[in-house]
Copies of this chain bind each other. A is one copy, B any other.
Amino acid sequence: MAEPKSFHMTPQEFREQGRAVVDWIADYYERIETFPVMSQAKPGEIRKELPDAPPQTGEAFDAILADIAPKILPGITHWQSPNFFAYFSSNTSFPSILGELLSAGLGVQGMLWVTSPACTELETHVLDWLVEMLGLPEKFSSRGSGGGVIQDTASSSALCAMLAARERATYFVSNDRGCDGRLVAYTSSQAHSSIEKAAMVAGIGRENLRVIDVDANFAMKPEVLGTQIAADRDAGRIPFFVSATVGTTSSNAIDPVAEIGRICREEKVWLHVDAAMCGTAALVPEFRWIQDGLELADSYCFNPHKWMFTNFDCDCFYVADREAYVRTLSILPEFLRNQATATGLVIDYRDWQIPLGRRFRALKLWFVIRHYGVEGLRFHVQRHVELAQEFAKWVRADDRFELMAPPPLNLVCFRHRGGDEANQKILDRLNRSGDVYLTHTRLNDRLTLRLSVAQTQTEIRHVERAWKRICEEAAGL
């Protein structure tokens, strides 16, 4: 049987085309400020430029790459632009991009230790490094009772934490018998929507997720939590899970984890702490207070893919009790049995997540940490906070505007005093101009503008220009 012609790209062609893509990306970053930050495309505009029918025969790679600028870029909202101040950032860096490239090149599956020991061991190792770098409680290290794993998002971490809490609270029978209708979960009114989604997915039901009120700074009121848990227990319910937030999506509010943690300990309720955005700040000793009380948490997550120059997806999730956690998510079908797993000496990360398969995501995180060093990461995080604080000063000094929440770190919530309509106009005009991209929230039922400073290339001149443009739009009202 002779081997017929192949349609594959050869390694030599890959060298050439790979170089072309690398150069394309470098060019992109060199001219990224020339694009409107928020895509100006209308619904359907991008699809319209694509051929209706799939290609029957292959095309030259040059032709494919040449299509990116005219056909794809108009539909790109430039998350990596230094003028991107919307949502939370999802920043990246060149070393991270190269880590992702290498991971794609190796193309390994990390579902079991044996399916690529390096994929598992590097992940465990780097997540232990982060315990040290952030000053996280030692129990979250694999050298303690717990350990870390890379999940795709904080949403998945919240779901996994809720599942582990559900099993622990029901003596590990919910997986077998289905969800117990008496279970009740808690989070604040400012928590991320993923907590509500987790309650839906896990069969808890959002009516059984108590939304706890917040104080003037939008942080959970622990006394209300305590009262609610007691009331639920009196009513024969089973309080099982609290999710506290370190850096809420709306306003970067920081729940009082120490007080919440004491209540959870007393009530034997699982405490999950979601620091998706802000967790990275703990790299800087002066911001490490955001982790106060974390020693009382059962699980924790933060996202290097938000603020640590590591491209999405890279959410670092830690548990304090890996045995209970793995018991929640483990299934071992025959086709996955192997000697290494049977010894119990290795971690099989398939038991730490919902999907079975997983890519080698630790590579990019390892590249980022080694490229920047603790020093470099710390520098940039501190710098982002400085820039946001500088912006907050300008807002405070301008009578037309007001801060809507104290800006603890790198997010500033503010508004024009002219009312919701004025703020909506400012926002729409700014975003349509393409000069900057900001998004909004509602705080105390008022439309509030958010300026989130965390893009890799954002410098003082970008923040100055954002403020100048905001002032111009305000003047034009």
Contact = CB atoms under 8 A, between A and B. Distances in A.
A24 B73 CA distance: 29
A101 B25 contact: yes
Interface stretch (A91-99, A218-226, A286-294): A91-99
A201 interface: yes
A230 interface: no
Contact of A101 (B21, B119, B204, B333): B21
Interface stretch (A56-64, A261-269, A398-406): A56-64
A45 B117 CA distance: 9
A472 interface: no
Contact of A343 (B43, B58, B346): B43
A80 to B, nearest CB: 5
Contact of A333 (B80, B93, B193, B332): B193
Contacts of A178: 179, 181, 183, 203-205, 207-208
A378 to B, nearest CB: 10
Interface in A6-45: 6-9, 11-15, 17-19, 21-30, 38-39, 41, 43-45
A98 B197 contact: no
Interface size on A, as a range, is 35 or more
Nearest to A363: B72
A250 B205 contact: no
B109 A79 contact: yes
A93 to B, nearest CB: 6
Interface stretch (A169-177, A239-247, A318-326, A415-423): A169-177
Contact of A24 (B102, B153, B192): B102
A249 interface: yes
A26 B3 CA distance: 22
A76 interface: yes
A213 interface: no
A39 B118 CA distance: 9
Most buried by B among A107, A204, A461: A107
A8 B94 contact: yes
A460 B1 contact: yes
A91 B8 CA distance: 12
Contacts of A45: 117, 121
A105 B22 CA distance: 9
Contact of A79 (B41, B107, B376): B107
A156 interface: yes
A47 B105 CA distance: 22
B18 A117 contact: no
Contacts of A100: 100-101, 104
B194 A87 contact: no
A3 B461 contact: yes
A340 interface: yes
A45 B369 CA distance: 21
B461 A375 contact: no
Contact of A77 (B18, B115, B371): B115
A459 B3 contact: yes
A244 to B, nearest CB: 18
A143 to B, nearest CB: 10
Please give me the 7 A-B residue pairs with the lowest Cβ-Cβ distance, nearest first: A203-B203, A75-B118, A178-B205, A179-B203, A7-B376, A18-B22, A25-B105
13 contacts: A7-B375, A8-B380, A12-B26, A14-B94, A18-B97, A22-B101, A44-B121, A46-B122, A54-B369, A64-B371, A77-B117, A80-B107, A178-B205
